[in-house]
Structure 1
């Protein structure tokens, strides 16, 4: 009797899943398959749309619908929370179509997809503050929206991108604040001061920057640096919450 390792079973499951997905999509002309995919997209049936679009993409990679199929897949993956697949499709599209007329939209979707990687359903559901979680997807999203604004300032997605950058900046500032607070609670006074000052320099117009002054003040007091503590107190008075 053969025995499979857990990793082997997982790999087998993935292979079966991929092959069965292709099998359930009828072998019909591309125009029919594309029309069916559009109906699924419009009705919000993301998984069905993805199955049909993936079939189109694999069967007719250089067909008349090729570019639009990839664009539709980017959107469907995002809506279905298949974020890694969405990012892979975006990378492929940008590599193959570096001057495409919808490049601003693709950059916008990459920003949204990176933002979605920072989202956690359970945290949203129970309103849990997780400012200390890894902000790398946030940094990537910020860079995407920034690139969109620099390259396509007249894009219809520019205004929303700017608003999202403001929210992302606050998210990054909150992460730095959580880090500074962590150092303070561990009595790493110098590290707490350095992170607080870095936050104030990088994100000066955020609430987190103002809150970091309290951490900085406590750290200076613990180090008995009276002059620095007094200057920080003055900054707090000038910047009330």
Structure 2
């Protein structure tokens, strides 16, 4: 091989070494390292920050990531609870209940258990349907709210739960009235009577009772039961003398010639002794 060829060969070999070495150098330099997972504290703070900025889906994701990667962290229990709260804010009530049930199962004696039970009850409460629809959700909400009251009677959660229980009861009474009016319009008087009586007997603290009593007067008059109509109107007049419902009942009694001189006029309370309401219901029902 001539000297020129040998020199060229050496140059090519040297160049190849440089190219290979250069490839190796840049390859090592450009390797992407896997991103380090944030600490449990950071993930928790990221979730809280996301809640504050109303990025609820992101928040629930951060809390879930914390639980998956740091199951024994001091932040994990709070993350479990806050994930349930994030789902609640998203309107994902089923997911929220599922997460809160899990939290309560793992931490039944937690200082935050009262809040978890309350938040769980709110999930049911927010799903209460219009009175024209099935009211199973209202019953579930009442059960969950009553559990809050039973377990934590002296807390602010219990006080608010009691108010919401009253609203649930009013909602259920409204459903009974809706069905009762429908049956009455169809002249199914027995079915309508049962609905109105249930309102008076089971939902006495709701604002539907005066109407239920007046509707019962109408039903009794339609059935020709004058005595029952008079007694029911008397109860209505004694307890709600200023209500429009007693005015309607009084007018109906007059039209059927069942109002006597002793029948109190609307706005004037009957002079009946305390306890009259309860005793009269026993005589009617």
Q: TM-score range by the shorter chain?
A: 0.7 to 0.9
1:177-196 residue CA offsets vs partner (Å, 9 max, x unmatched): 11211221222211111111
Pairs within 5 Å for 1:13-24: none
Distance in 1, matches of 2:141 and 2:122, equals 7
Compute the displacement of 1:27 (Å).
Answer: 4.2
Q: State the match for 1:184 in structure 2.
A: 184
Distance in 2, matches of 1:31 and 1:185, equals 64
1:92-139 residue CA offsets vs partner (Å, 9 max, x unmatched): 1222222222111111111211111116xxxxxxxxxx3222222222
Q: State the match for 2:84 in structure 1.
A: 74
TM-score, normalised to structure 2's length?
0.66
Q: How many residues align?
A: 207
Q: CA RMSD in A?
A: 2.1
Structure 1 residues without counterparts, runs of 5 or longer: 1-25, 120-129
Contact 2:166 / 2:206 at 8 angstroms: preserved in 1?
no
Contact 1:77 / 1:85 at 8 angstroms: preserved in 2?
yes
Compute the displacement of 1:149 (Å).
Answer: 2.0
Pairs within 5 Å for 1:215-226: 215-226=215-226
Compute the displacement of 1:62 (Å).
Answer: 4.3
Q: Relative contact order (C-alpha < 8 Å, sep 6+): which is higher?
A: 1
* Greater radius of gyration (CA): 2
Secondary structure of 1:157's aligned partner: helix
Contact 2:128 / 2:141 at 8 angstroms: preserved in 1?
no
Q: Which runs of 4+ in 1 moved over 4 A?
A: none
1:72-108 residue CA offsets vs partner (Å, 9 max, x unmatched): 0121111111111011112212222222221111111
Q: Which of 31, 40, 44 is equivalent to 2:41?
A: 31
Query: Judging changes above 3 Å, is the alpha-carbon distance between structure 1 residues 227 and 89 closer, same or farther for their aligned structure 2 residues?
Result: same
TM-score, normalised to structure 1's length?
0.78
Q: State the match for 2:246 in structure 1.
A: none
Distance in 1, matches of 2:214 and 2:138, equals 25
Secondary structure of 1:224's aligned partner: coil
